[in-house]
């Protein structure tokens, strides 16, 4: 699961109370810890500092348990043991985290025609990500096809808290969805502890509760994927909203002098080209996380078809072309305030059924 400290860091900069000029007499309280190969944090109003302090040990233990179960870097993790048993007849007892990841992956794969698939793990390794070493030359078409034969959630079964990978050589990696899942778990725990107003952040995957102050919603800055010091605009977030971004700028390999992004298309076996970033807002962190990866793979041409299935989809895509431009759904544009320099380079995408 650990793909570098900022493997899935958002191109989003939270405009928290102190930085955004809030009128609160006391600054918000923020607690930070290391987990899942990155930084996690919770920000709450000063009035909730004591509640946060009380629940913080449980939060850190919770994220540690998710990391321990779902990492691909520990051969004794729940996921690693399941991957190692690929091809065996017997079902394996797995943790609830693993079961939920498989089930969530199936939902996102169905929505996006297989553009999100955690069984892409062997392809990711072949291209030199995770524990693999970058190849000296481009993988041949035959080699890609051989690995592609082991990609697909149809190789994975779940029953009564147990799981089985039916085909030898198939392996899963939940790096594209696990941080969003961790955000959801932390959000629910904070709500159970009586904390209504908060921002949870794990490696740039965010979820907010309540408001930072009574008169306004949470607002975050959407960063330019080509220049981290500049914003494309700001985005309003409301109670329960989650945000995730996938980008080509953080992890890549260079093969024969050409740079390849770390996001692999599970349908072709090749790194995705043509996209710089995708930002998704959803009502669950796990969905926002997985959909940002899937839409990065699909690109803007497929966005109308996804909108047919999910009309309320809130997403913006930034093609890999400078100067930056946005291709966004109506739901995204309803809450987005663009920077002046990109105001004339925004295109709204409607569902295919409305065209």
Dump pLDDT digits (tens) for 10-68.
444 445 444 444 444 688 999 999 999 899 999 999 999 999 999 999 999 999 999 99
Q: Check if the beta carbon of residue 288 is closer than 8 Å to that of residue 280.
A: yes
Would you call 57 exposed, middle or buried from its count of C-beta atoms within 10 A (0-12, 13-18, 19+)? exposed
- What integer pLDDT is reported at residue 26 of this predicted model? 83
N residues, the chain: 355
CA distances from 21 to 28, 60, 207, 235, 300 (A): 12, 30, 21, 16, 36
Where residue 250 falls among pLDDT bands split at 50, 70, 90?
A: low
CA distances from 261 to 236, 248, 255, 348 (A): 29, 5, 11, 26
- What integer pLDDT is reported at residue 192 of this predicted model? 97
Up-side HSE of residue 215: CA atoms within 13 Å toward CB? 4
How far is it, in rounded angstroms, from Cα 348 to Cα 355? 12
What lies within 8 Å, CB to CB, of 209 at 6+ separation is 187, 190, 191, 195, 196, 197, 198, 199, 239, 240
Among residues 354, 351, 355, the alpha carbon closest in space to that of 311 is found at 351
- What integer pLDDT is reported at residue 3 of this predicted model? 41
- What integer pLDDT is reported at residue 21 of this predicted model? 43
Q: Check if the beta carbon of residue 297 is closer than 8 Å to that of residue 270.
A: no
Tens of pLDDT along 114-149? Answer: 999 999 999 988 888 876 567 778 889 999 999 999
How far is it, in rounded angstroms, from Cα 325 to Cα 238? 25
Tens of pLDDT along 206-241? Answer: 999 999 887 789 999 999 999 989 999 999 999 999
Q: Is the pLDDT of residue 355 over 60?
A: no
What lies within 8 Å, CB to CB, of 247 at 6+ separation is 11, 225, 276, 277, 278, 296
Among residues 336, 303, 339, 335, the alpha carbon closest in space to that of 323 is found at 339
Q: Is the pLDDT of residue 325 over 50?
A: yes
Averaged confidence pLDDT in the chain: 89
- What integer pLDDT is reported at residue 352 of this predicted model? 64
What lies within 8 Å, CB to CB, of 35 at 6+ separation is 60, 63, 64, 66, 67, 182, 202
CA distances from 101 to 69, 135, 233, 243 (A): 11, 30, 32, 18
């Amino acid at each position: 699961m650990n793909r570098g400290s900022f493997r899935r860091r958002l191109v989003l900069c939270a405009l928290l109370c102190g930085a955004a000029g809030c009128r609160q007499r006391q600054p918000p309280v923020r607690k930070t810890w290391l987990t899942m190969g990155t930084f996690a944090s919770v920000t709450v109003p000063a009035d909730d500092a004591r509640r946060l302090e009380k629940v913080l040990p449980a939060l850190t233990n919770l994220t540690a348990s998710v990391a321990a179960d779902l990492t691909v870097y520990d051969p004794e993790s729940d996921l690693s043991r399941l991957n190692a048993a690929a091809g065996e007849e017997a079902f394996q007892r797995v943790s609830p985290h693993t079961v939920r990841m498989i089930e969530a992956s199936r939902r996102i794969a169905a929505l996006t025609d297989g553009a999100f698939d955690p069984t892409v793990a062997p392809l990711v390794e072949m291209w030199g990500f995770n524990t693999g070493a970058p190849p000296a030359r481009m993988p041949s078409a035959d080699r890609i096809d051989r690995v592609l034969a082991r990609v697909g959630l149809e190789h994975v079964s779940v029953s009564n808290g147990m799981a089985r990978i039916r085909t030898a050589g198939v392996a899963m990696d939940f790096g594209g969805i696990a941080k969003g899942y961790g955000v959801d778990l932390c959000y629910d725990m904070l709500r159970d502890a009586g904390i209504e107003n908060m921002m949870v952040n794990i490696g740039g995957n965010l979820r907010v509760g309540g408001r930072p102050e009574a008169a306004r919603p949470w607002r975050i800055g959407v960063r330019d994927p080509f220049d981290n010091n500049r914003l494309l605009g700001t985005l309003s977030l409301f109670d329960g909203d989650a945000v995730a971004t996938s980008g080509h700028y953080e992890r890549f390999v260079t093969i024969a002098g050409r740079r390849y992004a770390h996001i692999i298309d599970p349908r072709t076996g090749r790194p995705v080209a043509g996209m710089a970033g995708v930002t998704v807002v959803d009502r669950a962190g796990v969905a926002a996380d997985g959909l940002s990866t899937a839409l990065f793979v699909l690109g803007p041409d497929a966005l109308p078809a996804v909108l047919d299935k999910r009309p309320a989809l809130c997403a913006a895509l930034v093609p890999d072309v400078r100067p930056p431009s946005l291709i966004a759904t109506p739901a995204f544009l309803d809450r987005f305030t663009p920077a002046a320099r990109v105001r004339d380079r925004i295109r709204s995408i409607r569902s295919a059924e409305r065209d």
